[in-house]
Amino acid sequence: MKRSLWVAVGVGLVLVGCGKKAHESIAEKIIEHQMAKDGVKGHVDISGNKVTVETKDGTASYAAGAGTKVPDTFPKDVPVYGGASVLASVSVPDGNNLTLETKDGAEKVIAFYKSKLTGTGWHEELAMNQPTGSMLVYKKEQRTVSVVVSGSGDVTQISLTAANK
C-alpha cells in the first residue's frame, strides 16, 4: 500500500504543473485507476500546485511552488526557520517534510535548530558537518526530526523531516 501511495503522489507531482482543470481530472482518474489495479481504493485530488491522495490508510499530500505553506499536520513542537520560504511540503500518515530556503547562512540555521529543538525537549542523536552541508537528528518520545542544511551562494536550503515512528 505504501508503494501505491508514493507512486500516486509521484505521478501527481509530474502532472501538477499542467494547471488546467481537464488535465487535473484526467490525471486524477489515471492515478485512481492505477491504485485500484494495485488493490488500493482511494481518492486523488489535484488542484493547482497540490496533490492529495486519500485511502483507508490515511491522507498523503504534496505541494510545491509559489504560495506553498506549512501544512496543518506539521508538528507544532518542531520549529520552522523564521523568514524562510517554503519551496515544497510533503505530508504522509507517518510524518512530514518541508523544503525551505533562506538567505541566512548555514551556520546560523544550524545554530537556530540546535537551540530551538533542545529548548523544546528534543534530544540530539546526531550532529554531522560536511563541507557540502550539515545534518542534525533529534528524538523525542517515539518521534524523530532530521534537519539537513546546505548552502550554495547566497541561498541556504533546509530539509526538515518530522517522522512519527
Please report, for the chain, the start and end positions of each structural domain, with discontinuous segments joined by +.
Answer: 1-60, 65-165
Q: Could you read off the pLDDT of 83-108 as tens digits, one per residue?
A: 999 999 999 999 999 999 999 999 99
Question: Is 59 within 8 Å of 38 (Cβ atoms)?
Answer: no
Whole-angstrom Cα distance, residue 92 to residue 54? 10
Q: Give me the CATH topology for the region 65-165.
A: TATA-Binding Protein (3.30.310)
**Average pLDDT value for residue range 53-65:** 91
Q: Could you read off the pLDDT of 142-155 as tens digits, one per residue?
A: 999 999 999 888 99
19: its cell numbers: 494547471
Whole-angstrom Cα distance, residue 110 to residue 138? 13
Residue 15 pLDDT > 60: no
Residue 20 pLDDT > 50: no
